[in-house]
Amino acid sequence: MTTTETETELEASPSVATDFGLREQLSLAVLLIATAALYLWRLSASRYANTFYAAAVQAGTQSWKAFFFGSLDRSSFITVDKPPASLWVMELSGRIFGFSSWSMLGPQALIGVASVALLYATVRRWYGHGAGLLAGAALMLTPIAVAMFRFNNPDALMVLLLTLAAYCTVRAIESASIQWLLATGGALGFAFLAKGLQPLTVVPGIGLAYLVTAPTALPRRLLHLGAGLLALLASAGWWILVVTLWPASSRPYIGGSKDNTPLGLALGANGVGRLNGASAAGERFSGTPGPGRLFSEQLGAQIAWLLPAAIVALGVLAWAWRSRRATGEDRTFDPAVASLLLWGGWLLITGAVLSFMSGPSHSYYTVQLAPACSALVAIGAAELWSRRSEPVAQLVAALALLGTGWTAWLLLGRLHGWHPVLRYVAVGACIAGAAMLLIRLWPGWTGTRAGSVISGVAVAIAAVALLAAPLALSLQTATLPQSGTNPAAGVRVATKPPGPPGPNVVKLIALLRRSHSRWPLAAVTSQKAATLELDSGGLPVMALGGFSDDDATPTLKQFQAYVRRGEVGYFLDLYGPNGSAPQLSATSNAIRRWVHSYFRKVKVGTSIVYDLSQRT
């Protein structure tokens, strides 16, 4: 390759891709159709998925007040333990099409398709159509992404909004545009309203990318970043401000906050508490905190398949930047630097937080890494391809493939008995691809037709090597129904969703339908309340103690006042007729003892309820 050719290729890298012909359109359409098929296939098999959020979605289709606050029940006693933005999407769908599994989970799957399309568009702008397709395919086939875009947790919307923020950042950097940076802040603010503090781990990378690479003077860059920060605060803060100013007596308790404030929700157990709170549950779901956590048995199969290649890509981008500086190229903006800061900051900071957080943690939190990991793999591949005549590029590409092969061997080995041949196919493809790349280094192959053929074959083998194992696991994940609070990708994660209510529950629901109270029933914990709400078609159930019986609502005095006013019909006690239940809070046990002492017990099928309108 001549010097002129090299310069031409390198100059193609930072320019914005504008060609979008029929071939590009068709290949993108194939990618998005495949994504939709994967994410929509037998979607309703999971029924209500996470019943906690499903009950809130149902409530939001019945009451605009419940919609705005993210209430668990339509009478708005308590909210879920996250801000409500992710619920709004599913609730609007439910209001249009009627509440069902499809109307709730369908938008989540379409959010996944939109995320793949956005990541394609983001990577394509600086690195072309092929890199965009590879990034989109890698995101589509990330196993935990498949699980989360088929589930009703808030993470799906969070991923879409973070990917949108990255796209807006790319557009802002290209022309030092304050308008695009304001859009970035808006997307990040709504990501906060979907998942709290978690999505903000991408902010440092976004800020650094703009600060270092935007083609304008430093004072203007700082001014633009300040404006973007204000946009973030405005798009996240409006809901917090309204809820803070709303009289607490006429709104639901903010679940998960400990102090009944939205800031307490953002900064408490679901915020900073996730980082430094000791939690055995966190280790059970996510492994022991430490540098190897992302490759642990709990997290590895969810996200780690392409992590070695993504980490190598960081080095490739740094090398590409230094090479261009060494050749004396004078350019206002180098996409390698911007990509390194944007995607590298996202990957490294979020990865560090997920690796070392000691508070409550779930394996599905790793889905936040998927867009950055996918983008880096594609961008690294594009940079290496543009330098394919250089021996260093061949060696680095071979190293990335071998690292991917080692990871596949490790992770597939933990899936005992599941398609054991796949382990050898994935590793064999990695070794074969690496070998062909190294063969090109042999004197006489470079610049020849045979060398070009070998390069093409190596690329095809590399694609198989990178995506074979994630593809197989993603297909497996899509066939398995999931329910509960800890969705995960894998081969043994099917959790049978609860079926229709049995005869005893039907009898209980019939009794509750005759109640004219604001809450026909009170039950300890949101999980039990949510299940009964879904089974009854939306009857409001007062969830004492919130999600895990650790919310300070209601107090005994407050509950007594509700009962005196006739606002609670029955009390369901699943913990025995006498004494204290050690698994419950002191407040819930005090309420139980008071109910046992003063109200008539009624047996409904196998359930014991207390009629709060009839004293003993």
Q: Is the pLDDT of residue 278 over 70?
A: no
Exposure string over 169-188, b if 16+ CB within 10 A, otherwise e: bbbbbbebbbebbbbbbbbb
Q: Across residues 54-79, what is the average pLDDT?
A: 98
Give dist(CA 583, CA 509) in Å, integer: 26
Give residue 418's pLDDT: 86
Q: What is the pLDDT of residue 197?
A: 93
Asked whether residue 506 carries a pLDDT value surpassing 90, the answer given is yes
- Please choose, from the candidates 345, 353, 371, 350, the residue with its C-alpha nearest in 3D space to the C-alpha of residue 282: 353
In this predicted structure, the answer to whether residue 461 has a pLDDT above a threshold of 90 is no
Query: What is the reported pLDDT for 334?
Result: 86
Query: Cβ(165)–Cβ(191) under 8 Å?
Result: yes
**Tell me: the pLDDT tens digits for 489-501?**
987 655 667 777 8
Confidence of residue 185 (pLDDT cuts 50, 70, 90): very high
Q: Three-state SS across 185-207?
A: HHHHHHHHHHHCCHHHHHHHHHH
30: phi then psi, degrees, rounded to nearest 5? -60, -45
Average pLDDT over residues 493-513: 83
pLDDT of residue 452: 66
Distance CA 374, CA 127 (A): 13
Please give the backbone phi and psi of residue 509, each rounded to the nearest 5 degrees, phi first.
Answer: -65, -40
DSSP bridge partners of 524: 544
Q: What is the DSSP letter of 271?
A: I
Q: How far apart are CA 510 and CA 528, in angstroms?
A: 17
Distance (Å, whole) CA 571 – CA 532? 13
- Residue 9 confidence (pLDDT): 33
Q: What per-residue confidence (pLDDT) applies to 361?
A: 87
Decide if 285 contacts 363 (C-beta within 8 A).
Answer: yes
Question: pLDDT value at position 579?
Answer: 65
Collapsed DSSP state (helix, strand, coil) of residue 258: coil
Find the mean pLDDT for residues 502-510: 93
Q: What is the pLDDT of residue 11?
A: 36
Q: Say how many CA atoms lie within 13 Å of 555 toward its Cβ.
A: 5
Average pLDDT, the chain: 90
pLDDT at 277: 67
The alpha-helical segments, DSSP class H, found in 440-525 are: 449-479, 503-513
Assign 394 a pLDDT band (cuts: 50, 70, 90).
confident
pLDDT band at 574 (very low <50, low <70, confident <90, very high): confident
Q: Which residue has the higher pLDDT, 446 or 462?
A: 462
Question: Which residues, 6 or more positions from 151, have their beta carbon under 8 angstroms from its beta carbon?
Answer: 46, 49, 50, 105, 108, 364, 482, 487
List the structure tokens of 127.
């690195």
Q: Classify residue 288 by burial, with Cβ atoms within 10 Å: 0-12, 13-18, 19+.
A: exposed
pLDDT at 183: 99
Asked whether residue 135 carries a pLDDT value surpassing 60, the answer given is yes
For the segment 318-376, what is each residue's pLDDT rounded down to a tens digit? 999 888 777 766 556 789 999 999 999 999 999 999 999 988 889 999 999 999 999 99
Do residues 224 and 175 make contact, with C-beta atoms less than 8 angstroms apart? no
Nearest alpha-carbon partner for 472 in 612, 305, 338: 305
Listed in sequence order, the residues at least 6 apart from 56 whose beta carbon sits closer than 8 Å to its beta carbon are 66, 70, 71, 72, 79, 80, 84, 87, 530
Residue 102 CB partners (closer than 8 Å, separation 6+): 43, 44
Please state, in angstroms and as integers, the Cα–Cα distance from residue 17 to each residue in 181, 272, 477, following that order: 20, 41, 35
Phi, psi of 604 (to 5 degrees): -120, 100
162-171, 182-191, 465-474: segment of lowest average pLDDT: 465-474
Q: Which residue has the tokens 């180098």?
A: 334
Query: H helices within 542-602, ranges in order?
Result: 556-564, 586-598
8-state DSSP, 149: T
Cα separation, 520 vs 89, whole angstroms: 28
Residue 205 has pLDDT above 80, yes or no: yes
* 270 or 40, greater pLDDT: 40
Q: What is the pLDDT of residues 221-259, one digit of tens each?
A: 999 999 999 999 999 999 999 999 999 999 999 999 989
User: Which residue is associated with the tokens 């030092």?
Assistant: 176
Peptide bond into 554 cis (omega under 30): yes
Q: How many CA atoms lie within 13 A of 80 on its CB side?
A: 34
CB 57 within 8 A of CB 104: yes
Residue 192 reports pLDDT greater than 90: yes
Q: Is 144 exposed, middle or buried (0-12, 13-18, 19+ CB in 10 A)?
A: buried
Q: Quote the pLDDT of residue 3.
A: 38
What is residue 19's predicted lDDT score, i.e. its pLDDT?
73
Residue 587, pLDDT above cutoff 60:
yes
Domain ranges of the chain: 22-49+81-247+294-391, 503-615
- Confidence at residue 444, expressed as pLDDT on a 0 to 100 scale: 59
Residue with tokens 């880096």: 376
Q: What predicted TM-score, i.e. pTM, was given to this entire model?
A: 0.93
Percent above pLDDT 90 for the chain: 73
Work out whether the CA dihedral 261, 263, 267, 271 comes out positive or negative.
positive
Q: Cα dihedral sign for 347, 292, 489, 152?
A: negative
Note the pLDDT tens digit of each residue in 95-134. Answer: 999 999 999 999 999 999 999 999 999 999 999 999 999 9
**Residue 466 φ then ψ, to 5°:** -70, -40
pLDDT at 359: 81
Quick one: pLDDT at residue 417?
Answer: 79
% of the chain with per-residue pLDDT over 70: 92
- Alpha-carbon distance 78 to 254, whole Å? 6
3-state SS assignment for residue 45 = helix
